Amino acid sequence: MLFSIISGRRIHSVLVGLLCLVIASAICCSSSVGSSSILCLESERHALLRFKQGLVDESNALASWKSEKDCCKWRGIACNNRTGHVITLNLRNSFDDSKFGGTPLRGEIDPSLLELRHLNYLDLNFNDFGGMIPRFIGSLRQLKKLNLAHNNFSGPVPPQLGNLSNLHTLDLSMNQYVSFQNLEWLSHLSSLRYLNMTRLNLSEAVNWPQSFSQLT
Ligand SMILES: *[C@@H]1O[C@H](CO)[C@@H](O)[C@H](O)[C@H]1NC(C)=O
Ligand SMILES: *[C@@H]1O[C@H](CO)[C@@H](O)[C@H](O)[C@H]1NC(C)=O
Ligand SMILES: *[C@@H]1O[C@H](CO)[C@@H](O)[C@H](O)[C@H]1NC(C)=O
Ligand SMILES: *[C@@H]1O[C@H](CO)[C@@H](O)[C@H](O)[C@H]1NC(C)=O
Ligand SMILES: *[C@@H]1O[C@H](CO)[C@@H](O)[C@H](O)[C@H]1NC(C)=O
């Protein structure tokens, strides 16, 4: 009888000990997950939501873009894993890789993107924004890669794009109504390594041979 009480207490204390261990490891592990997964910045999340408001998203491709969630986990977004800044906005609607296999996005490209000061990759390929390429894109100074191909853009390319001194990839192809008065801005893109201007209207560009020849 006495023996069974003692062993019962032992079992009890072993169980309590095990429970403590389980709780401790749960706390330890959840806190380590918490510290390694950086949440996106509130100002950048709001900027993305404002950008979304300007879009016409018929197939609800951006369903994951909701106010309460961590925007680093939203579709098409990648953040710097130390600072949490949004560094990638990839809304490429490519039918072959079926990433966004739905209806192309339309609407307005809202200047709220300027809040994303660390954005280095912007890809809007295969959507249908139309209208002029927004001038403010030239102020996204950290951009390394800019893809505006297949978007039915029209009108002149803003020379402000020449301010993108970090740009190494620029794809404006397949926007047949886009025209150029002048390509002088191209010569400022000192980091450029890839340029695609397939099916753009160069008929009014006056000095393009010089501008191309100045590219490194
Ligand atoms: C953070 O990002 C860098 C650069 O993209 C990558 O090399 C590194 O493995 C990442 N670290 C973690 C913990 O995900
Ligand atoms: C492309 O834009 C032009 C106006 O610039 C418009 O008339 C045309 O319908 C658009 N095409 C598509 C496929 O959206
Ligand atoms: C950008 O480029 C335009 C036109 O080339 C220029 O007038 C402007 O001063 C530059 N800087 C900024 C911050 O837009
Ligand atoms: C340039 O763009 C066109 C149309 O988007 C594409 O078919 C072509 O492969 C591109 N060229 C290069 C060299 O990447
Ligand atoms: C290119 O632009 C010129 C001048 O704006 C226009 O006359 C011409 O029709 C355009 N070409 C094409 C293929 O759209």
| Segment among 1-5, 56-60, 86-90, 184-188 with least mean pLDDT | 1-5
Distance (angstroms) between ligand 3 centre and the Cα of 134 equals 13
Which of 152, 182, 201, 202 best tests ligand 5's pocket when mutated (most atoms within 8 Å of CB)? 201
Mean of pLDDT over the chain: 83
Distance (angstroms) between ligand 4 centre and the Cα of 59 equals 27
Distance (angstroms) between ligand 5 centre and the Cα of 201 equals 6
Strand, helix or coil for residue 137: helix
- Closest approach atom of ligand 5 to CA 179: 2
Q: Is the pTM of this model over 0.85?
A: no
Q: Could you report the per-residue pLDDT of 167-215, keeping only the tens digit for each?
A: 999 999 999 999 988 889 999 999 999 999 999 998 888 777 777 787 7
Which of 194, 198, 199, 200 best tests ligand 4's pocket when mutated (most atoms within 8 Å of CB)? 198
Per-position b or e across 171-197, b if 16+ CB within 10 A of its CB: bbbbbeebbbeebbbbbbbeebeebeb
Q: Which of 100, 104, 109 is nearest to 58 (CA)?
A: 104
The per-residue pLDDT for 147 is: 98
Instruction: DSSP for 70-119, please give it.
Output: -GGGSTTEEE-TTT--EEEEE----TTTTTT-SSPPEE---GGGGG-TT-
Domains and CATH numbers, the chain: 39-129 (3.80.10.10)
The per-residue pLDDT for 9 is: 52
Distance (angstroms) between ligand 5 centre and the Cα of 173 equals 16
Which of the 8 DSSP states describes residue 144?
A: S
Question: Which residues form the pocket of ligand 4, taking CB atoms under 6 Å from any ligand atom?
Answer: 149, 173-174, 196, 198
